[in-house]
Structures are given as structure tokens and as C-alpha cells.
Amino acid sequence: MASGGLQMLGFILAFIGWIGLVVSTAMPQWKISSYAGDNIVTAQAIYEGLWMSCVTQSTGQMQCKVYDSLLKLAGNLQATRALMVASIVLGLIGTAVSMIGMKCMKCMEDDEVKKLRMAVLGGIFFIVSGFAALVGTSWYGHRVTQDFFNPYTPVNTRFEFGQALFIGWAAASLVLLGGAFLCCSCPRRETSYPSSRPYPKSAPSAGKDYV
């Protein structure tokens, strides 16, 4: 059986990673305006996220605008939205399920095998959640890279990776690692060997009466 310390470590890592996924999804800094050109206006910075776009002035003022129409958004943005939301929902389910299977919880303590299976199930939910977030962030980052190196993209409209993208990668890695640790709680099958039977004692030979 896996130790309770490894199980607790896996849950803490996965839960911290899940919080990071929520923060990354809500942040508008998924990509930021690039200053790679010569005639770039640095008085303002443009941020674009999954839900809104923001402009920050040199004075520190930020103005954000939520995307009005869902159908007008690019396909990769809609797919990234769906993957991140699915990742958050799966992580929430994994948190609830794995808490039941924790050794420090009193729930289902009568059946240790079922309790450990619940922890493993929570770990599987976390792994799927981390994989969905990793695919979504990597897909979005790949599209940003393609647009940046596209020669037909105007210099003033090129973007680079934002802070939310790095937070999403780190959070997805923590969720995957924590889910893997929780899956180490899988109960092992104990091989049952037939009990050794004692050899039958030979009946004492009946004494012969000699006359």
C-alpha cells in the first residue's frame, strides 16, 4: 500500500495546480503585444485572453472589453476555452473524489480497498484534467508562435506569450504530477497461497503380544 505521506503530497500538488488552472483561465494575459519591431508604440500594452482583451496605458490605467459574440471568435480560441473549462470541471470532480479516498479522512474507513480505489479514481480525474489543460495551453501557444513568425502578419499586430500561458503550463504539470502520485495508492493484489497442511501422522503400529 502507498504511504499516506505520498498520497497527501499528490493531493496538495494537484489541488495547487487546479487553483493555478482557474487563475490562468481567468487572466487576460494569454498573449501580449510584441515590441520586436522598430517603430512600435510602447506607450500602451495590449493583452488578449480567453474572455476579454485589455489595453494598459503607460500611466497604469487598464481598460478591458469582454468579447461580445461567441460565434465571431477564432476556432482555436473556442477550443482552448472548452479545454480549460473541462479541465477545471474535471479537477473539481477529482478533488471531491480523492478527498474521500484520503487516509486521513474518516469516510469509508471500514473498507480500505474501496477507499484506496477512490483515491486512484481521483488521481485519474486529475491526470485527465492536467492533460486537457496541457493540450489547450500548448495549442494556443503554438498558434501564437505561428502568427508571430508569419511574414504576412503586420509587425504592429504580433503577439508573444503572456503570463497566463506560463501559469497554465506550470499548473497543468502540477496537476499531472499530483494525479500520478494519487494513482500510486492503487491497492496491490495479495497472492494467497494454500495453507500448508501437516503431514498425517502414521498410526502407531499395534504391538504384538508374544507368548
pLDDT in tens, 117-138: 888 999 999 999 999 999 999 9
The candidate with the shortest Cα–Cα distance to 140, out of 83, 85, 87, 72, is 83
pLDDT class of 108 with cuts at 50, 70, 90: low
- Show the DSSP H helices in 27-162 as ranges: 75-101, 112-149
Q: How far is CA 151 from the centre of its chain?
A: 35
Which of 25-29, 122-126, 147-151 is the least confident region? 147-151
Check whether domain 4-28+70-183 has CATH 1.20.140.150, yes or no: yes
Spatial distance between the Cα atoms of 51 and 6, rounded to a whole number of angstroms: 37
Say what the pLDDT of residue 56 is: 84
Q: Which residues contact 174 (CB under 8 A, 6 or more apart)?
A: 13, 14, 16, 17, 20, 130
pTM over 0.95: no
Which of 31-40, 62-71, 125-134, 199-208 is the least confident region? 199-208
